[in-house]
Amino acid sequence: MKSFLKKFWYASRGFRFSFREQVNFRIHLAVAVLVVAAGLFFEVSRSEWLILILWMVLVLSAEMINTAIELLTDKVSPEWNETAGKIKDIAAGAVLLAVMAAVVSGLIIFLPHILHFFSFG
């Protein structure tokens, strides 16, 4: 049990580091809070909540993995080189891909609710 708690502590340190040091992580987290507020306001269904939660966690996780890759790349290759730049670009591209898919999913879920709210649908 002590080992599990220690691992949980280390993982929570990683989350706190991401929150404190990474602007993009805070932006994604703020958007997630807005998504939760919108989900509560529009009373989305259970299946819609599952999709929204999965995308929020995926985007935040991708951002944390991107941060880890960037830190490791900077440590291994402190001077600029083309390969290191490509590695960091690919990791950032993965975050962008997750964000784009999350936005599309969010539009699919929220657009009918928004249209209905404004009596357009």
Closest CA to 5 of 20, 60, 13: 13
Q: Which alpha helices (H) appear in the chain, and where do they start and end?
A: 2-21, 23-42, 46-76, 82-117
Would residue 21 show up in a list of annotated catalytic residues for this protein?
no
* CA 84/CA 7 separation, integer angstroms: 29
Q: Which of 21, 43, 63, 79 is catalytic?
A: 63
Element (H, E) at 22: none
The DSSP code for 3 is H
Q: Which residues are the active-site residues? A: 63
